[in-house]
Structure 1
Amino acid sequence: MSEVLVLGATGTTGSRVAAFLAERGVPARLATRKPPSAMQVRFDWADRDTHAPALRGVSAVYLVAPVGVADPVPLVEPFLEEAVRQGVRRVVQLSSSAPPEGTPGLGAVHSLVRTTMAEWAVLRPSWFMQNFTGEHAAARGVAIGEIVTATKEGRVAFIDATDIAAVAGHALVDEDPHNTEHILTGPEALSYADVAAIIARRVGRPIRHRSITAGELAVRLTENGIPPEFAAMLAALDEDISGGSEDRVTGTVERVTGRPARSFRVFAEMELPGGSALS
């Protein structure tokens, strides 16, 4: 097959999609706003002059919509139209388990991908396990010993980004197009208190979960530099979790890839520093 364009190629899922393709010898064009090497191509959602060169000669696209944009449709729609003009057949979009098709934001992009492309898949993963590493708010909570959410006792079937990338990779290269949405979860739904206990055991120090109101969380996020509108949306998602919106487990990862999704305990052992094995 011709090249696969991977948007957000240095990001959490994009880098793993690129690795999946490389392991299978699939030619990939890695796109990012500031390419660190000649092996990558410049792509910026806000600069439409970068779209056509990035798309030229590719057969499929891994699409990560612009981050932090309340309405990404005005940016994504002309990109998809350009993709069709250049003969791209397949698009695999990273969405989220929270917004169903047609709702504002990623749900609207979902509709665009399904109706514009001849071959498509939309990935709707639950919350990332990687939120507890790196620079995410949950990771900062781990660092100081207190994870703060508005989820109460609500549970989430957290998923490893490597499993998301594996499903994305299959959707990009399988001979038959998937032409469906994939709701992706890990193998077990956990509360944030459960997660805090697993991490505490792994890192060997106390970590607790503290639940606050959605309004308090929105203020807290805004004070940490998140735009108010986006902070309110994130807080509302936590409130939805408290009501059970993410308390579900699917077998999609195993069905698509042939192997089970990685558990949070295994993720903690592999990705978090510490001396305690989790069994």
Structure 2
Amino acid sequence: MSALLIGGTGTTGRPLSRLLPDATVASRNPGPGQVRFDWAEPSTFAPALDGVRAVYLVPPPAELEPMRFAAPFFAAARAAGVRRVVLLGSLIVLPDAPGVAELVAAVRSMPEPVVLRPSGFMQNLLGDHPLAVGLRERGELVSAAGDGKLGWIDAADIAAVAARALTDPAVSGEHLLTGPEALSYGEVAEVLAEVTGRPVRHRPVRTSERREVFRAAGMPEPFATALAAVDRGIRNGEEDLVSGAVAELTGRAPRSLREFALAHSGTLV
């Protein structure tokens, strides 16, 4: 089945493109062999969807009302004969964001919908994510989640599930994706300190301070506010979940945080 990977150069898209080398990678700034796709330019939808029957859908970034961009896309997808849509959703539920639920409903309206709901990405500890910046610059993980836990997952494991979902018609419905254990930010700091041999601590903050961290990173104010409020749910235990879906769908256990940290020890702190 010919597949289009929207967000194919992103955190999950890169490993997914390696698993599905025949898939078409869509990017706002396409490289060789890729196609142009820009959520803000509906004219890019139909050319990217030409000949496609399955789509890996990464939603418009930092957007609480994704359907204002995605509605024209679904119309173009139906016109192109797309059957299978695999959505990169989230276990995290953004407060006061009904538009996100509308996107999930739109995916479910397609002939062969699959919704992936991963927990917090381990990759948030790397690169330019605000969590990673605080870790590198000050040896601290900042959150308003208290001792609440979440089932940290490696993006490569998400990609492995997505590859199966895009190519196996038997895979359907929603799938909660986590790593092998749920860990608090304090426990993550302990693992990182042990692996790197450097001091790492969790610095608890108020939700308002967490919002300002996201705003300083360039996120729009409404999205920063919603994302900061997610920590309240983590603190209340709403994300303290572990799923066996990765093993069930890929045939191997998901990567642990310790394994991830060992693989990236030179760039974490």
Report the AA paired with residue 14 of structure 2.
S
TM-score when scaled to structure 1? Answer: 0.91
Deviation at 1:219, TM superposition (A): 2.6
Larger RCO of the pair (alpha carbons < 8 Å, separation 6+): 2
Q: 1:111 to 1:197 in 2, by over 3 A?
A: same
Which stretch has the larger CA shift, 123-132 or 69-78? 69-78
Counterparts of 2:181 and 2:258 in 1: how far apart (Å)?
10
Identity %: 47
RMSD: 1.5
Q: 1:82 to 1:45 in 2, by over 3 A?
A: same
Q: Secondary structure at the match of 1:69?
A: coil
Say yes or no: does 1:156 pair with 2:150: yes
Structure 1 equivalent of residue 99 of structure 2: 105
Say yes or no: does 1:210 pair with 2:191: no
Q: Secondary structure at the match of 1:11?
A: coil
Structure 2 equivalent of residue 60 of structure 1: 54
Counterparts of 1:224 and 1:129 in 2: how far apart (Å)?
18
Counterparts of 2:90 and 2:132 in 1: how far apart (Å)?
20
Structure 2 equivalent of residue 43 of structure 1: 37
Contact 1:186 1:249 in 2 (8 A): yes
Q: Secondary structure at the match of 2:24?
A: strand
Which of 26, 29, 38 is the matching residue for 1:31? 26
Which of 74, 77, 99 is the matching residue for 2:68? 74
Structure 1 equivalent of residue 253 of structure 2: 260
Contact 1:95 1:107 in 2 (8 A): no
- Runs of 5+ consecutive residues of structure 2 not aligned to the other structure: none
Q: Secondary structure at the match of 1:53?
A: helix
Which of 221, 239, 242 is the matching residue for 2:235? 242
Counterparts of 1:223 and 1:45 in 2: how far apart (Å)?
24
Q: 1:190 to 1:51 in 2, by over 3 A?
A: same
- Runs of 5+ consecutive residues of structure 1 not aligned to the other structure: 275-279
Q: Secondary structure at the match of 1:58?
A: coil
Counterparts of 1:139 and 1:15 in 2: how far apart (Å)?
19
Report the AA paired with residue 221 of structure 1.
F
Aligned length: 265
Contact 1:96 1:106 in 2 (8 A): no
Deviation at 1:151, TM superposition (A): 0.4
Structure 2 equivalent of residue 277 of structure 1: none
Q: Secondary structure at the match of 2:141?
A: strand
Say yes or no: does 1:118 pair with 2:111: yes
Counterparts of 1:161 and 1:105 in 2: how far apart (Å)?
24
Deviation at 1:97, TM superposition (A): 0.3
Structure 1 equivalent of residue 180 of structure 2: 187
Counterparts of 1:272 and 1:77 in 2: how far apart (Å)?
42
Q: 1:138 to 1:106 in 2, by over 3 A?
A: same
Report the AA paired with residue 106 of structure 2.
L
Q: Secondary structure at the match of 1:138?
A: helix
Q: Secondary structure at the match of 2:115?
A: strand
